[in-house]
Amino acid sequence: MKMESVEKPRVRVVGEEKVRIKKSFIKPWMGVKYLFRKPVTIKIPFEKIEPAPKYRGFHTLNWKTCVGCNFCGQICPARAIEMTWMEGEKRPHPKIDYGRCTFCQFCVDVCPTGALGFSENFYLTTGGLEEDLELYDWVPIHPDKVRELNEKFGDYRFPVERIEKKGDGVYVYHLRDGSRIEFKILGYGLRPPAAAKPKPAAKSSGGAPKE
Amino acid sequence: MADLEVPNELRREAKEHDMYLHPIDRDTYELFFGPQHMATENFSIILKMDGNRIEKAIVNPGFLHRGFEKLAEGRPYFTNIALLLRICVPESDVPENIYSMAVDEIVGWEVPERAIWIRTTVLEMARVSAWMFWIMGFGNEIGLYTPGQWAAAYRERFMRLYEELTGGRVYHIYTVPGGVRRDIPGDRWLRQLRDTVEYVKGKMKDFDEILFDNYITFERTEGVGVMDKRFALKHAVTGPNLRATGVPYDVRKDDPYYLYDQLDFEVPVLKEGDSLARVLIRRYELEQDLYILEQLLDMGPPSGPYMVQDARLKALPRFKPPKGDAYAHVESTKGDFGAYVVSDGSHKPYRVHVRGPSQSHGVTVLEELLKGARLADVPVILKTLDNCPPDIDR
């Protein structure tokens, strides 16, 4: 009963005279007027929802400016980011698993060079095939490419149509406009994998024999 | 078979919590209510029924399996925002804000004025959209589906505003220690917010007509689940449920935070303590929240930065506050929501404790109020108490 003794500056005790609400049989029928108004629901195949300009969707990554600092991997609350070593890249790049990602975009906030960004693309639905599920685990691609695809299609879907897994760690991203991005994944983790170690030696000895 | 020594106390307790579905005698039986039922959301109640009357109710939570407080100890400070806001889904800004306020107090940051204005506005928007969500749930429980559909449509307008401000619709991971993550996207957003507030205000009359003035609402809620003042205080009930019993306790008035000491608003109090009082209290508070939002818009956002300037924020994953602890609480639509954060100087919190309102009115009070009620009154009592199941399972 101590709480009552605290002085209350402006408290309205809603007394009986102030409760203007009286139970009524007739008033509920006033809702019928809404039958003749325009519905607020969106008819999805015929109408489109435009996401807000800075809606938090799929990531983009500028591979040139990413320094592989793993800040994004450290801040990720869902541990969705795995650093990936690729052939021809000096530093690892984040690989994002959208099965775990919560779209909080803290990784974008902490990126010291601004390499990691995000697009408004938000559709995470698949056809239910096994290879569709593998689709949402990728190293993000360049923001310009995503923007170009968005202007072409404008339906805010995932930019990659199919991820082809060849032998020897070679991955091919088949983008929606038919172009391909091909690279070889050497290993995962912060430390350079064994496959990546002889690379500087091969590079110094001359050229890039593998490409 | 070995004759195991079981203490009589344990035997009695096991008998009381007997959870097998079986007819006890011809008229007495056990009924599992939820978690598929719309009213219970994510938890269930085991009812021991005698015909249509409830003899005993045992709340059976734990369908979510989320150890928020323990998980928060293993993650860096800023990262916890993306975790803790899941404690209360309809108004996810409340857990964000209590955690951020507590960390602000530990570090000793003076949050910029603009960030405080944005935080207050976001909290009030969260309250209004949570009332809309509640109207939807309550309307569905008593069979009035139309106001629920309207409320869902009006909540959509607030979700659109959130989407433009924060980038997320339901989980807006927006308020962080030190300020907010993004600036207001321009005057257009403020105009849209004012339009939305005006729009919802204009729809209050329709809500009155179809839901709050409705004969069905009165018949279903009047005198159901009566809770007196002494009982509510004993069980640490807070929020609208407490104010419906006649205790004028509101954190925004009694322990003002953010801009609430500059705002002019009233705390409605009713004395009856039954389900009808709890329904009407929520209706009056929705009105007050719209009024607060209007005042905030008249005040306008102050200019300046929206995030505190600190060199430590350059390396967010390794951000280390000094040693210390702090408690912060806000008034949510469910009640008094608080967070206690202990820092031991490392980059992860030593302990995060959340004081949720649903533990009291969703478990102990609910079990008491359900005794002797009819089966048809269970959804009404449950929804007028308005608990948040993830908060119980935290």
Q: Would you say the C-alpha torsion B215, A27, B288, B92 has a positive or negative sign?
A: positive
What is the C-alpha to C-alpha distance for residues A59 and A120, in angstroms, rounded to an integer? Answer: 9
pLDDT single digits (tens) A88-101: 888 899 999 998 99
Least confident among A92-106, B33-47, B187-201 = B33-47
pLDDT single digits (tens) B91-139: 889 999 999 999 999 999 999 999 999 999 999 999 999 999 999 999 9
Q: Which residues pair with B336 in a beta bridge?
A: B331
8 A C-beta contact, residue B340 and residue B327: yes
Mean pLDDT of B226-249: 91
Domains of chain A by start residue, with CATH: 59-192 (3.30.70.20)
Q: Any idea which residue has 């430390």 for tokens?
A: A191
**Which pair of tokens denotes residue A53?**
């300009």
Mean pLDDT of chain B: 87
A-interface mutation test, from B71, B269, B313, B314, most A Cβ less than 10 A away? B269
Chain A nearest CA to B75, separation (Å): 7
What is the C-alpha to C-alpha distance for residues B387 and B360, in angstroms, rounded to an integer? Answer: 9
**Which pair of tokens denotes residue B252?**
């925004």
Question: Does A36 lie at the interface with B, CB-CB under 8 angstroms?
Answer: no
In CATH, what class is B68-392? mainly alpha
Cβ <8 Å between A77 and B82: yes
Cβ <8 Å between A51 and B217: no
Chain A nearest CA to B151, separation (Å): 12
pLDDT of the residue at A9: 47
What is the C-alpha to C-alpha distance for residues A92 and B138, in angstroms, rounded to an integer? Answer: 52
8 A C-beta contact, residue A122 and residue A131: no
SS3 string of chain A? Answer: CHHHHCCCCCEEECCCCCCCCCCECCHHHHHHHHHHCCCCCCCCCCCCCCCCCCCCCCEEECCCCCCCCCHHHHHCCCCCEEEEEECCCCCCEEEEECCCCCCCCHHHHHCCCCCEEECCCCCCCCCCCHHHHHHCEECCCCHHHHHHHHHHHCCCCCCEEEEEECCCCEEEEEECCCCEEEEEEEEECCCCCCCCCHHHHHHHHCCCCCC
Residue B234 phi, psi dihedral angles, 5° rounding: -65, -35
Mean pLDDT of chain A: 80
pLDDT single digits (tens) A55-82: 999 999 999 999 988 899 989 988 899 9
Enumerate the H helices of B76-144 as residue ranges.
81-84, 93-107, 113-141
Domain ranges of chain B: 16-60, 68-392
For residue A115, give the amino acid letter.
Answer: A
Residues from chain B that touch A112, judged by Cβ atoms under 8 A, are 314
Residue A27: partners with Cβ closer than 8 Å, 6 or more residues away: B208, B209, B210, B213, B214
8 A C-beta contact, residue B88 and residue B303: no
